[in-house]
Structures are given as C-alpha cells and as structure tokens.
Amino acid sequence: MAEFQRDPLLDFTGKVALITGAASGFGALLAEALGRRGARLVLGDINEDGLHAVVDKLTAQDIEVQAVTCDVSSETDCAAMVALARENFGGLDIAVNNAGIAPPQVHFEEVDEETFDRQHSVNVKGVFFGMKHQLKLMRGQKHGIILNVSSMAGIGGAPKAAAYAGAKHSVVGLTRTAAVEYARHNVRVNAICPFFTLTPMVAGLTPPPGASVEQLHGLLSAGCPMKRLGEPEEVVNAMVMLCSPALTYVTGQTLAVDGGVSAY
C-alpha cells in the first residue's frame, strides 16, 4: 500500500476514485494525490500512451490502479469506466469528470458549427455521460462524491471563447441540478472553476499574431489580482479537498480557484 496522510480530512483509504482526462494536467496530478492517500484508482483518457505512462508511475508507488482508453464524448466509453470500477473494486466512491478540450480564440461571430459542436461534445457530453452512469451506481450505494471540472468561463464571460464558455456554463448547470436531485441519496456533486493554469492545455494556446507564449501568459496574468497564472498543484489541492469524504455538507457548489479574479 502506498504511503498516505492519515488526517481524517485527507484520508482516502480504500476509496475508489474514477478520473477522466487522467493522462496529463490536473487528472494525472490528482490521481497521484489521491493514490498517495490510499485511494484505489480507475483512470481514463483518450491519450493511450500518456495514460500508460501515468499508470506506470503510479504502479511504481504501489498505488492500486485500473485504466482504460476513454473518449468521454462516447456514452459507451463513459459507461465502461464505471463498469470497470464496479467489476474490479466493487463500487465507486468518487468520480472526477476532468476531461476537456481548450477553446479556439475567435470572436463570437466567427465561431463555426463544427467548433461549437466539438466543444459541447467533449466538455458537456463528457460530463453528462459520466455523471449519468456514476450517479446510477452511487444512488444504489446511497453514497458518493462527484467533482466536475468547469472553468472561470463557466461562471463569467470569456471573450473570444464563446463556445467554450457556453459548454462550461452547462457543466455548472449539470452540477447544480444533479446536486439537488441526488442529495437525498447522500451523493454530493460540486464543480471547480480554475482560472488560467499552467497545464498542457494552457501551454497549447496559440498566442496572438506577433506575440510569444510568454507575452500571452503575461496578458492572461494581467487580469488576475495575483498577477500570475495558477500552478496545477494549487488547483489539485482544492480538488482533493472537494473530494474529501469528510466534506459531508457541501454540495451544489462551484469553487473558483482563480487568484481573486471572481472578487472583482
């Protein structure tokens, strides 16, 4: 068994945690953070090579993990992840719907139908399909925790990212609706809304014409009271807290991890 902290608030001993988008970024870091605290993991990602690398790293730490290639825009794939948790570990305590894709930076009137559909297929359907099957299993167990990864674009405007903002607002709506509907079954559903954070997704954003990546990051940082982008570990620390089995009276919430942006 991997070493983990025994603080009751951070003790995930024996808990079964499912994470989508686990091949990199928040998903990979969260898998390690929960695994080190005793969780048994079910991981999915469309990036098969990246997923295998994460599994190898976790296995080397004696963390118990199952993994499957998963395209979250496919309900069949999302259902298969939940089935994997049930069949291998006997149930599912925590589900983190983290998989998502970055927005193209274009003006509202320039968003084409293909871009709009792709954003909603991954960023909305991926959360909806995951929750649909996670909730069914958790309702039968009469316990569970679901955390959905939205964005600051899910609780405010996002210039030049209309399709992304619409998708991430939908994640918040799904979160709140499920929280109200399933509270009676002791299933808690929350969302986290990060500001720009130095993950591979943000690193892959295309700078404006004539600008460098560093200049782009400077422009993004200027809108934050802390005048910097977030570190992935800062967001993952908040995710761990929201997944805590001890956080028993918190549901239907959207937590902004944003360096103070939402305080404006």
Note the Cα 131 to chain centre separation in Å: 12
User: What are the C-alpha distances in Å from 115 to residues 16, 43, 111, 162?
Assistant: 35, 27, 7, 10
Torsion, Cα 127 182 96 60, to 10 degrees, reads -140
CA separation (Å) from 26 to 19, 31, 158, 222, 237? 10, 8, 21, 23, 10
Active site residue 249: no
Nearest Cα to Cα of residue 50 among 73, 64, 75, 67: 67
Cα 251 to Cα 21: distance, rounded to the nearest angstrom: 23
pLDDT at 210: 76
pLDDT computed for residue 211 by the predictor: 76
Whole-number pLDDT of residue 242 = 98
Q: What is the DSSP string of 129-178?
A: HHHHHHHHHHHHHT-EEEEEE--GGGTS--TT-HHHHHHHHHHHHHHHHH
**Residue found under tokens 């039968």:** 140
pLDDT of residue 212: 82
What are the extents of the domains in the chain?
8-195+230-257
* CATH fit for domain 8-195+230-257, picks 3.40.640.10, 3.40.50.720, 3.90.1150.10, 3.40.50.410: 3.40.50.720
Question: Mean pLDDT per segment of 10 residues, for the chain of length 264 residues?
Answer: 67 97 97 97 98 98 98 98 98 98 90 96 98 98 97 94 97 98 98 90 73 81 91 96 96 97 91
pLDDT for residue 217: 82
Residues 96 and 149: beta-carbon distance below 8 Å:
yes
What is the per-residue burial (b if ≥16 Cβ within 10 Å, else e) of 142-178?
A: ebbbbbbbbbbbbbbebeebbbbbbbbbbbbebbbeb
Backbone angles phi, psi at 165, to 5 degrees: -60, -40
